[in-house]
Amino acid sequence: MHVFSGNFFLYGDMSSRVMATLKAFSPILEVYSVDEAFLDLRSLPHHELFSYGCHIKKIVKQWTGIPVSVGIAPTKTLTKVANHLAKQHPSNCYTLLSPEKIEDVLRDFPLQDVWGIGRQWSKRLAAFNMNTALDLARADMNWIRKTFNVILARTALELRGIPCLKLEDMAPPKKSMISSRSFGTPVTSFDVLREAVSYHASRLAYKLREQESNASLLSVSIRTNPFDKKGRFYANTHLIPLGTPSQDTTVLIKTAASALRVIFREGLSYKKVGVMVLNLSPETYAPSYLFKEMEIEDSFKRHSLLQTIDKLNHKYGKGSLVFASEGVRKLWHPKSSWKSPSFTQSWNQLPLVR
């Protein structure tokens, strides 16, 4: 057994490389999560899909070093079933295309393993003698809608091979964002805690600009270690509305520091801090305020400055340019004694071939 510290920057980078590789196989790609995506392969004939799936798996492994499994089916829900079976197949590729094969597979497929069902829904369905995916696929649609909801009815139709969930080639913008981190060692100082809050606020401001969104609300949460029996447990959150929806790093840092002052308590050892932005809206939407004159020229200058900082950090690496309030030593950073090497992000950590 091997123990590793989290290396989230590396995970995100490798995920981006895998998704970029998958994009070469289909013009329509939906990135579902950090390690999962849907591709549209409807232009290919059925008899070529298995070999094409094996080819995708081979190229992803060759270009990124990441092993993947490929499931192919006529709907997203059936594709998840096929992918589940692909993990157990010697080729790590599985196609679920003909009605006969779909019925045969669903007959023994546990209902709780169906995408979107889970343990709680499967318990409720078991009360109606529905225990397998095939039971749900064969159920009466009107009965499902009346007894449960339209979402479960869509799942049942998808299991029948009728597409109800389209591929989203453009991910919908997030409605909220959060940045949080547990500390490597307990933090007691307000100044150190403020540095951590400034760091998280800065990261969120960058993500907002990347998504081209503004935030209207910001919250800061802090807590001590709930497992420390010697110290008193304390957790609190404070929410502050922004006067004007913003993606400005300085605005978010100042607001986060103000929220921290409200909930900070002396004499406690803090274990975790988090900053969250909510009520996001497109940056093109700028509400007017009757009693507040907007300094448009100054706003453009600040936006240009922040874009320059983003470009330099993208060119020379994250953290090349930071705000002074984020601190330099970052004593609050988590321990990373067992972190895997960042081969894709640091020249110094590249493996040497002699």
| CATH number, position 249 | 3.30.1490.100
| Assigned domain for 353 exists | no
151 and 183 in a single domain? The answer is: no
Block means of pLDDT (10 residues each) for the chain, length 354 residues? 67 89 92 92 94 96 95 96 95 96 96 90 91 95 92 94 84 84 88 94 93 94 89 93 92 95 94 94 66 56 84 80 81 65 73 77
Where do runs of H (alpha helix) occur along the chain?
8-22, 46-64, 76-86, 99-106, 118-126, 133-138, 141-147, 150-159, 190-211, 249-263, 296-316
Distance from C-alpha of 108 to C-alpha of 92, rounded to nearest angstrom: 20
Phi and psi at residue 44, in whole multiples of 5°?
Answer: -95, 145
Owner of token pair 């009466």: 140
pLDDT at 303: 79
Residue 346 lies in a domain: no
In a domain, 249, yes or no: yes
Q: State the distance between the two ends of the chain, measured CA to CA, in whole angstroms.
A: 28
If phi over 0 gives left and psi between -120 and 50 gives alpha, with beta otherwise, what is residue 187?
Answer: beta
**Token output for 276:** 């969250």
Q: Do 275 and 189 belong to one domain?
A: yes
What is the per-residue pLDDT for 182? Answer: 87
Residue 285: predicted pLDDT? 65
Q: What is the pLDDT of residue 295?
A: 53
Q: 198 and 150 in one domain?
A: no
Residues 233, 206 share a domain: yes
Lookup: tokens for 299:
């706003």
Considering the domain architecture, whether residues 96 and 49 belong to the same structural domain is answered as: yes
Distance CA 30, CA 40 (A): 9
Do both 281 and 153 map to the same domain? no
The confidence score (pLDDT) of residue 290 equals 46
Q: How many domains does the chain have?
A: 2
In this structure, the answer to whether residues 141 and 183 fall within a common structural domain is no
Give the pLDDT confidence score for residue 154 in this predicted structure: 94
Angle at the Cα of 111 (from 107 to 117), degrees rounded to 5?
Answer: 145
Q: Are residues 130 and 206 in the same domain?
A: no
> CA separation (Å) from 47 to 40, 50, 51, 280?
16, 7, 8, 46
Q: Are residues 28 and 155 in the same domain?
A: yes
The predicted pLDDT at position 340 comes to: 73
Asked if 145 and 186 sit in the same domain, the reply is: no
CB atoms within 10 A of CB 170: 7
Q: Is residue 340 part of a domain?
A: no
Question: Which range marks the domain in which residue 226 is found?
Answer: 177-285+295-326
Type of residue found at 264? F
**Does residue 188 share a domain with residue 107?**
no
Question: Per-residue b/e over 45-55, b at no fewer than 16 CB within 10 Å?
Answer: eeeebbebbee
Same-domain check for residues 77 and 147? yes
In a domain, 86, yes or no: yes
Residue 305 lies in a domain: yes
